[in-house]
Amino acid sequence: MRRSDGVRWWCRERGGGFGRWLLRGPAQVMFLADARTGAVFCLALATADWRYAGYALGGAALGTGTARLLHVARDRVEQGLEGYNSCLVALWCAVFLGAGRLSTTLLAAACSAVTAVATAAVVRLLHGWRLPPLTLPYCLLASAVTLAAPAFRRVRPHGAGLAALPGPATGPTGPHPDDLWRAFFRNISQVFFLEQWYAGALLLVGLFLAHRVAGLLACAGSATGILTAWALGAPAARIADGTMGCNAVLVAVALGGVFLAAAPVTLLYALLGAATATAVTPAVAHLLAPSGGRPFTWPFVLTTLCFLAAACSFPRPTGRTPAPDEARPQRPGAPARTV
């Protein structure tokens, strides 16, 4: 989906050289096309491990460069839309397979290049429904590598497997007050697989640097994730480490103004989506238990695509009245059509 179709509505920058295109890749993980925000995001990654920033930028460069070589639409390349999935794939390899291993570097490079092909395929498949690819290419590649990794000793040399049967939640459900504010920031940092709360705070600074609404929506999504997880009785440890609420942050930002027009009713719709993604997270983790139970951003992808598809039937979030015999959905955020 091109930006002219309504994506990244708070994007300020256009054009620029490859350096700006590159920095927009990490920024587009949070739906921003601001090179300054991308630089702040890389700084946040470096506070955890400088190699993480290198992997993220390297992945974005390979994904963007591959897309450019394959003559993907220049507007997508310039805005970083070809770099954010490859950025996540490379970063995931560094975090979960070991950033200091040569095999990890080579695998991350290969996956980043393949991500350009996966992104093109997903964009083509979802184009008929006027739906964006989101982080679906990353989810597909990360899930495939996770399933295959134990079969290759050079990829994952650890002796023990990752498979585990899902079980009932255990432990206290009431987080300590000191854990709540850390969970608030970790919900944001876990979007980039980081456990450090200060990295989440720096990421939030980058969001506000690009646009105040983006930062506020991320805050609302994080708070919704915490409240929903607590209300459902999630273990306090899962709430505190940010793994229950990170998808809620992405959903809130995506639905609150990126793919749907910013409005009070849209905010409520986005927060409902954020709560849904929080509840879906354990379900996805249980389904993926044979490969280690990592939900990646599947809850965000599934929830957002569902809510965007449904929004075409709701006049208020989309600002339009659907025709009774309408066969194809109109893109989210499009102006009302005269019937």
Q: What's the CATH number where 86 sits?
A: 1.10.3430.10
Q: Pick the residue with more confidence: 154 or 312?
A: 312
Q: Are residues 205 and 306 in the same domain?
A: yes
Residues 13 and 112 in one domain: yes
Structural domain contains residue 191: yes
228 alpha-carbon distance from chain centroid: 19
Which amino acid, one-letter code, is at 276? T
- Residue listed under structure tokens 């609302």: 220
Task: Look at residue 165 and tell me if it is in a domain.
Answer: no
Is the distance from CB of 221 to CB of 252 less than 8 angstroms?
Answer: yes
Residues 263 and 116 in one domain: no
> pLDDT exceeding 70 applies to what percent of the chain?
82
How does pLDDT run across 301-333, given as a tens digit for each residue?
999 999 999 988 887 776 665 555 444 444 444
Same domain, 188 and 124: no
Mean pLDDT of the chain: 86
Q: What tens digit of pLDDT does each residue of 173-201 get?
A: 677 788 899 999 999 999 999 999 999 99
Tell me if residue 162 falls in helix, strand or coil.
coil
What is the C-alpha to C-alpha distance for residues 117 and 188, in angstroms, rounded to an integer? 28
Residue at a domain's end among 90, 123, 157: 157
- 123-140 mean pLDDT: 94
Is residue 121 domain-shared with residue 2, that is, in the same domain? Answer: yes
Q: Is 182 helix (H, G, I), strand (E, B) or coil?
A: helix
Is 321 within a domain? Answer: yes
Instruction: State mean pLDDT over 106-114.
Output: 96
Query: Do residue 51 and residue 132 come from a single domain?
Result: yes
What's the length of the chain?
Answer: 339
Same domain, 190 and 329: yes
Assign 285 to helix, strand or coil. helix
* H/E element, 224: helix 212-231
Q: Where is average pLDDT lowest: 112-121, 242-251, 272-281, 291-300? A: 291-300
Closest residue by Cα to residue 189 from 82, 41, 15, 32: 41
Identify whether 164 is part of a domain: no
| Among the ranges given (19-33, 133-147, 148-162, 198-212), the one the predictor scored with the smallest mean pLDDT | 148-162
Regarding whether 241 and 107 lie in a shared domain, the answer is no
143 belongs to a structural domain: yes
At residue 172, the pLDDT reads 62
**Exposure of 98 by Cβ count < 10 A (0-12 exposed, 13-18 middle, 19+ buried)?**
middle
Q: What is the pLDDT of residue 320?
A: 60
Task: Look up the domain containing 336 and give its range.
Answer: 172-339
- Per-residue pLDDT reduced to its tens digit, 43-87: 999 999 999 999 999 999 999 999 999 999 999 999 999 999 999
Is 267 domain-assigned?
yes
Does residue 178 sit in the same domain as residue 115?
Answer: no
Same domain as 190, residue 267:
yes
* Number of structural domains the chain divides into: 2
Answer yes or no: do 127 and 177 share one domain.
no
Report the distance separating Cα 22 and Cα 329, nearest Å.
33
Q: Is 166 within the bounds of a domain?
A: no
Token pair of 168 as six digits:
């009932």
337: phi then psi, degrees, rounded to nearest 5? -95, 140
**Residue that is last in its domain, among 157, 181, 198:** 157
pLDDT at 327: 40
- The answer to whether position 167 is within a domain reads no
* Backbone angles phi and psi of 159, in degrees to 5: -70, -45
User: Backbone phi, then psi, for 40, in 5-degree steps?
Assistant: -65, -40
Predicted local confidence at residue 287, as pLDDT: 87
| Domain identity same for 145 and 191 | no
This prediction has a pTM of 0.86
